[in-house]
Chain A
Amino acid sequence: MTATAAAASKGRSNGLLSLFTLGAMPSKAVRGGLQVASLLVPLLLWTAIASLGLVDEKFLPSPQAVFRSLASMAASGILFQDIVASTGRVFGGFLLATLLAVPIGICMGVYPAICAICEPLIAMLRYMPAAAFIPLLIIYLGIGEEPKIALIFLGTIYFNILMVMDAVKFVPKELIETTLTLGGRSRQVLVQVVARYSLPSIIDTLRINIATSWNLVVVAELVAAEVGLGKRIQLAQRFFRTDQIFAELIVLGLIGFAIDMGFRLLLRLSCKWAV
């Protein structure tokens, strides 16, 4: 214990080491610099490797080639089509999963009886990989949009339910009971207190789980699709267009990142009291 204390106080006096002192918070400028470096360093490495010709450009296209490919897909309108198709599927499936998961999760968190009847089933369903349902979904729903949306729905609903349930368990018992003694009825307690108190955690849960939807939309499009970012990647592979694959991957990453930021913004705007 004295050793760690000594190490901690030593760390505080050393410049670089102080970043690794537990509980220490680097200044805003330092953090900003590190965040920029997080993206810039890999980009520079990639540029260097590509321009030195260390790897065959068929396998590792240069950043310029990827950018050109991105620009030409954007100009032809393909990119826009793909983005609309893929995000539409993600939002469709995820929205359905959320609309169902939030009330179910809240009821499971509040009523032990509902939890007891749902949890074992959900715990098992959760371990059945969503992708393994694709053949069934195609048999049931054909090869249109429905099986893709259903896949995303299946892949996210169980996690949404369980995480909402956990969030709800953190609502202080006193707050619920206070509401009852103020004359609140069950529905008022659930909607106006339990859901409202858990809203920040629920938004955060959605932010984390929508990433799974992004993974699944690509899988869904590999099976049967006309357009979509995942579909384009598959086509690019057929023609050995690694530059296009890279471009689509970057677009996937950027949209995912934007959605993440969107949820963070939503949290900040709707739950000022919690941030």
Chain B
Amino acid sequence: MELIVNNLSKHFGEKLILDHLSFSMQSGDFMALVGSSGSGKSTILRLIAGLDQPSSGSISVDDTPVSGPGPDRGMVFQKYSLYPWLNAAENVAFGMRLQRMKAAEIKERTAYFLEVVGLSDAATKLPRELSGGMQQRVAIARSLATNPSILLLDEPFGALDLQIRESMQDFLLKLWQRTGLTVLLITHDVEEALVLAQRVHVLAPNPGRIIRSLDVDLDKTDLDQLRLSSDFLALRRSLSATMRELEPALS
């Protein structure tokens, strides 16, 4: 799989929201886009997902231009991500049902992906009976079950408490290491980007544009240790400084 975003621009009315963005991803990559709120992060993901059309520039997956939403690009939003009338297993099965997979296959894959996200025991629980972190895991499982070639995550842990957010980061990293997913994560949290992604782009607002890109080459076997290591802290300080310079009120 190859995702190519080339000179992507987006206007809403007169206002320029995204200004000539370019980047690309290969199978198995974990990339993060960090930016403050309003910098156009969600807009980028919506364009890649095909939920909105670019004003200019192009997005292609394996040389095919993106023209609309499709299950090859799975998406997980920050909130309202589950169907409230379906239990966890039915939520995971929903995308496969939409695509009319065979019942036996749906059943098998549902059980498998619930297991992958560690929620086999919660299969029959309704979303409102699940914690925020569990709900997001179900949403990720539901997306994976339709076999996407890339997973688009729009601040998926942004609404969670700090403690849970860290354990969800551990979960997502392990999932990526285990399954060789391709993940494009969007976040306003510099630490989250550094902990998870191999490559991080910093997005400046008004209009949204990439002003810095870096590879994160750190040992990620133990995230608790990583979060305290000096290399990590140095990177984090440097990225935070970049972000701070973008805030007009503070600079």
Contact = CB atoms under 8 A, between A and B. Distances in A.
Interface residues of B, number: 30
A68 interface: no
Given A175-B80, A273-B84, A182 B71 contact: yes
Contacts of B79: 172, 174
Nearest to A192: B98
Contacts of B201: none
Interface in B71-86: 71, 73-77, 79-81, 83-85
A271 B83 CA distance: 13
B126 A181 contact: no
A248 B46 CA distance: 60
A78 B139 CA distance: 59
Nearest to B129: A273
Given A174-B77, A188-B98, A273-B128, A180 B84 contact: no
B41 interface: no
A177 B75 CA distance: 9
Contacts of A172: 79-80
B146 interface: yes
A178 interface: yes
Contacts of A182: 71, 74, 94-95, 98-99, 142-143, 146
B71 A178 contact: no
B143 A180 contact: no
Given A177-B75, A183-B98, A197 B69 contact: no
A269 to B, nearest CB: 13
B83 A184 contact: no
Contacts, number: 69
A273 B74 contact: no
Contacts of B38: none
A179 interface: yes
A193 B83 contact: yes
Contact of B77 (A178, A188, A196, A271): A178
Nearest to A270: B85
A178 B81 CA distance: 7
Nearest to B152: A181
Interface in A231-275: 271, 273-274
B65 interface: no
A273 B85 CA distance: 5
Interface string B113-143: 0000000000000101000000000010011
A177 B51 contact: yes
A167 to B, nearest CB: 15
B85 A180 contact: no
A179 B77 contact: no
B146 A183 contact: yes
B49 A274 contact: no
Contacts of A274: 84-85
B80 A174 contact: yes
A180 B80 contact: no
A180 B152 CA distance: 14
A180 B51 contact: yes
B195 to A, nearest CB: 25
B73 A174 contact: no
Contacts of B57: none
A188 B94 CA distance: 11
A197 B83 CA distance: 8
Nearest to B69: A180
Contacts of A183: 70-71, 95, 98-99, 146
Contacts of A185: 98
A181 B74 contact: yes
A181 B51 contact: yes
Contact of B71 (A181, A188, A193): A181
A175 B139 CA distance: 11
B232 to A, nearest CB: 32
Interface in B51-93: 51, 68-71, 73-77, 79-81, 83-85
A273 B126 contact: yes
A274 B85 CA distance: 8
A181 B85 contact: no
A273 B142 CA distance: 19
Interface in A167-213: 172, 174-175, 177-185, 188, 192-193, 196-197
Interface of A: 172, 174-175, 177-185, 188, 192-193, 196-197, 271, 273-274
Given A174-B77, A197-B85, 9 more contacts: A172-B80, A174-B79, A177-B46, A177-B49, A178-B139, A181-B51, A181-B69, A182-B142, A274-B84
7 contacts: A172-B80, A174-B81, A177-B46, A181-B152, A182-B143, A184-B95, A274-B84
